[in-house]
C-alpha cells in the first residue's frame, strides 16, 4: 500500500517556520515526508533537515520522497521524545525550526493490518512502532475494568466510558477479544441506541483513547515540548499541529508557561523568582484549516496549529 498522508495546514506551517535557506530544521513526526519535502526544497546545500519517525513504513516512504534532497536530509527512526538526545549524537545542539504533526496518519488509519481503524475487520494492534510488544489487544484483554474506564474517560472523553469498560470486561470472560469488529459490537452494545444515532461512529472515541494510551501520546508530548524549545536558536520557530483537545491544551499551557514562567504571587511589585521568558507565543488563537483544505481533506477538521518563537 502506498504511504499517503495529506500534510495538514502545510502552507501555514511553512509560512510560520520562517525558513532560512541555510538553517537547521527538525520534523519530529516525519510520516510520509509531506511537511519535510516543502521544508527541504527551501533549503540550500548549507541547510539541513532532520526527520524523525518511529514507524518503519513511514521511514521507507519518506526516504523515497525526500531522495531529491538527500544531500541535506538526515532521517532517524525513533520516537520524537528522544529527539534532543539523538540530535546531540549527530552533533546538533541548536536548530532554527521544529514541526510536530501529531496523531495518526491517513496511511496508518487506512492500512487494514495496522488495526487503527474501526472501519476494517482486522486484529487489534494500533502500535505506531511495531518494535513495541504491547498492543491494543493486550489493553482490551489484560487491563482491569478501572484502567480501561480511565483510558476511555480521560483520553476518549466518552460519557459512556464506564459502561464500555464494563462490557469489555464481561465480553472477554467468554474468550479473548481479538479483532476490531468484535470490539465494535461490544462498544455498540454499551451505548444506548438513541445515543448511537448522533455523534459519529460509536467506536470512535474508544479507539482514539486506546491508541493514545498504547502509544503514550500525551506523555510523549508533555515530556518533549520544553526540550524542543530549549534547542531553538534565537528567532527559531516551533510549530505544533494537534488533533485532540487534550494535545492542544498541553501545547497551549506549555507555550504560555515558556512565554511567562514567573511564579511570583501577583501582589509582588517585581519578579523575584528569577525565571526568564524563553520567547513568545505567535498564535494567541490556534490557526485552523481553511475552507479549501477542509473540502480536500475532511480529516483536517479538528486540526489546530500553535506556534512559539524563541528569543
CATH number at residue 149: 1.10.150.170
Total tally of structural domains belonging to the chain: 2
Co-location of 202 and 277 in the same domain: no
| Residue 189 structural domain | 133-214
Asked whether residue 119 is assigned to any structural domain, the reply reads no
Asked whether residue 128 is assigned to any structural domain, the reply reads no
What integer pLDDT is reported at residue 137 of this predicted model? 97
- Angle of helix 204-214 relative to helix 217-230, nearest 10 degrees, comes to 60
By C-alpha distance, which of 37, 32, 23 is closest to 68?
Answer: 37
Asked whether residue 124 is assigned to any structural domain, the reply reads no
pLDDT tens digits for 207-224?
999 999 999 999 999 999
By C-alpha distance, which of 117, 140, 120, 103 is closest to 28?
Answer: 103
With a cut of 90, say whether residue 198 has pLDDT above it.
no
Domain boundary among 162, 181, 214: 214
Domain boundary among 149, 180, 214: 214
Co-location of 287 and 273 in the same domain: yes
Asked whether residue 83 is assigned to any structural domain, the reply reads yes
Co-location of 238 and 201 in the same domain: no
What integer pLDDT is reported at residue 103 of this predicted model? 80
Asked whether residue 121 is assigned to any structural domain, the reply reads no
What integer pLDDT is reported at residue 85 of this predicted model? 98
Co-location of 259 and 139 in the same domain: no
Q: List C-alpha distances in Å: 269 to 258, 262, 266, 274.
A: 21, 12, 8, 14
With a CB cutoff of 8 Å and minimum separation 6, the contacts of 91 are none
pLDDT tens digits for 243-261?
999 999 999 999 999 999 9
Co-location of 163 and 208 in the same domain: yes
- Cell triple for 15: 509560512
Asked whether residue 116 is assigned to any structural domain, the reply reads no
With a cut of 70, say whether residue 2 has pLDDT above it.
no
Count the helix, strand and coil residues of the chain and give each as a percent rounded to the nearest 5. 45, 15, 40
Percentage with pLDDT > 90 across the chain:
86
Contact 259, 277 (CB under 8 A): yes
With a cut of 60, say whether residue 233 has pLDDT above it.
yes
Q: How many residues in the chain?
A: 311
pLDDT tens digits for 124-167?
999 999 999 999 999 999 999 999 999 999 999 999 999 999 99
- Long-range contacts at 57-62 (CB < 8 A, ≥ 24 apart): 57/3, 57/107, 57/111, 58/3, 58/30, 58/31, 58/32, 58/105, 58/107, 59/30, 60/3, 61/2, 61/3, 61/31, 61/32, 61/33, 61/107, 62/3, 62/30, 62/31, 62/32, 62/33, 62/36
With a cut of 70, say whether residue 286 has pLDDT above it.
yes
Domain boundary among 182, 214, 246: 214
User: Residue 56 is part of a domain; what is its CATH number?
Assistant: 3.40.50.150
With a cut of 70, say whether residue 53 has pLDDT above it.
yes
With a cut of 70, say whether residue 228 has pLDDT above it.
yes
Amino acid at each position: 500500500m502506498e504511504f499517503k498522508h495529506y500534510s495538514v495546514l502545510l502552507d501555514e506551517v511553512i509560512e510560520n517556520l520562517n525558513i532560512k535557506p541555510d538553517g537547521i530544521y527538525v520534523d519530529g513526526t516525519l510520516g510520509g515526508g509531506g511537511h519535510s519535502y516543502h521544508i527541504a526544497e527551501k533549503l540550500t546545500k548549507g541547510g539541513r533537515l532532520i526527520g524523525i519517525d518511529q514507524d518503519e513504513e513511514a521511514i521507507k516512504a519518506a526516504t523515497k520522497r525526500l531522495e531529491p534532497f538527500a544531500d541535506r536530509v538526515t532521517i532517524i527512526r525513533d520516537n520524537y521524545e528522544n529527539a534532543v538526545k539523538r540530535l546531540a549524537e549527530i552533533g546538533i545542539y541548536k536548530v532554527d525550526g521544529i514541526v510536530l504533526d501529531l496523531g495518526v496518519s491517513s496511511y496508518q488509519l487506512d492500512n487494514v493490518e495496522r488495526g487503527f481503524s474501526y472501519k476494517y475487520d482486522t486484529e487489534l494492534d494500533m502500535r505506531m512502532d511495531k518494535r513495541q510488544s504491547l498492543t491494543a489487544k493486550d489493553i482490551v484483554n489484560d487491563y482491569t475494568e478501572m484502567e480501561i474506564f480511565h483510558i476511555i474517560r480521560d483520553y476518549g472523553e466518552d460519557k459512556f466510558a464506564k459502561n464500555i469498560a464494563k462490557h469489555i470486561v464481561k465480553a472477554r470472560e467468554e474468550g479473548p477479544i481479538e479483532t476490531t469488529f468484535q470490539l465494535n459490537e461490544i462498544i455498540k452494545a454499551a451505548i444506548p441506541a438513541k445515543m448511537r444515532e448522533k455523534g459519529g461512529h460509536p467506536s470512535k472515541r474508544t479507539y482514539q483513547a486506546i491508541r493514545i494510551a498504547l502509544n503514550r501520546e500525551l506523555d510523549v508530548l508533555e515530556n518533549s515540548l520544553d526540550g524542543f524549545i530549549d534547542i531553538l536558536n534565537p528567532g527559531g520557530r516551533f510549530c505544533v499541529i494537534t488533533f485532540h483537545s487534550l494535545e492542544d491544551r498541553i501545547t497551549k499551557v506549555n507555550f504560555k508557561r515558556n512565554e511567562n514562567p514567573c511564579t511570583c504571587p501577583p501582589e509582588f511589585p517585581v519578579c523575584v523568582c528569577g525565571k526568564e521568558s524563553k520567547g513568545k507565543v505567535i498564535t494567541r488563537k490556534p490557526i485552523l484549516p481553511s475552507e479549501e483544505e477542509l473540502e480536500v481533506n475532511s480529516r483536517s477538521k479538528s486540526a489546530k496549529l500553535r506556534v512559539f518563537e524563541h528569543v
